[in-house]
Amino acid sequence: MSVLDELAGGLVVSCQPLPDDPDDPMRDPYVQARVAAAVVRGGAVAVRVNGPDDVRAVRAAVDVPVIGLYKHGTQGVFITPTAGHALEAARAGSHVVAVDATDRPRPDGRTFADTVRAVHEQSDALVLADVATVAEGVAAVEAGADAVATTLSGYTPAGPPIDGPDLGLVARLAALLPVPVIAEGRYRTTEQISRAFEAGAHAVVMGNAVTSPLWITRRLVPATPRAASAPEKREHR
């Protein structure tokens, strides 16, 4: 059974601290490894992990496929933005390396196809293309991607932000592409998971709604009377 076959029909959980909060207490490889072990015990078929240190820690803690990435920066292409970042993620132990495959300029001036080629030629890892549009998904497969994910839908200038998951993009990609399509981006409920599989998803990724106490608490606190009476801007500690 291939790594991608192991994901079929299952839930993948993204185990990452919040990217916009450098003081997130979850930002620690040991912590992320424990989180990964917990979600695998709960039934996750794979985990998605950011950074070589976290990938190494998680690989030692779980026996399911690890989808590794390497975020660098906060603007533009920052999910595994260069071939060098992709190779670092692969060499840390990622079974699959997730790479931004949108049509935006990459910081090293190279193409997505260059990154795919580097990973395939210099490691045993597969490449998961994170895209925002159908055209990007098609181009990613033509460039050699082993699978495509809807991770970046609503997060690039290619389309307006949306509140829930982009089920339409999942359906269109699943109908067009010869590789697995992984549904990712704002999945928060069991109903959304079911609808993604109905749309043709190979697997579904959930992240903050499962693994980030900071994100979950920030969404719940506004419903409390104390939050309603507090100053509008508060420091999170």
Q: Residue 225 is encoded by which pair of tokens? A: 């009377």
Task: Provide the sign of the torsion angle of the four alpha carbons 27, 33, 34, 38, taken in this order.
Answer: positive
Which pLDDT score, from 0 to 100, does residue 27 have?
96
Q: What are phi and psi of 51, to 5 degrees?
A: 100, 140
* pLDDT tens per residue, range 2-32: 999 999 999 999 999 998 889 999 999 999 9
Whole-number pLDDT of residue 160? 80
Residues of the chain with pLDDT > 90, as a percent, come to 89
Q: What is the pLDDT of residues 128-160, one digit of tens each?
A: 999 999 999 999 999 999 999 999 999 999 888
Please name each of the domains of the chain with its CATH number.
3-229 (3.20.20.70)
> Is it the case that residue 231 has pLDDT exceeding 80?
no
CA angle 28, 207, 60 (to 5 degrees): 45
| Pairing status of strand 96-100 against strand 66-69 | parallel
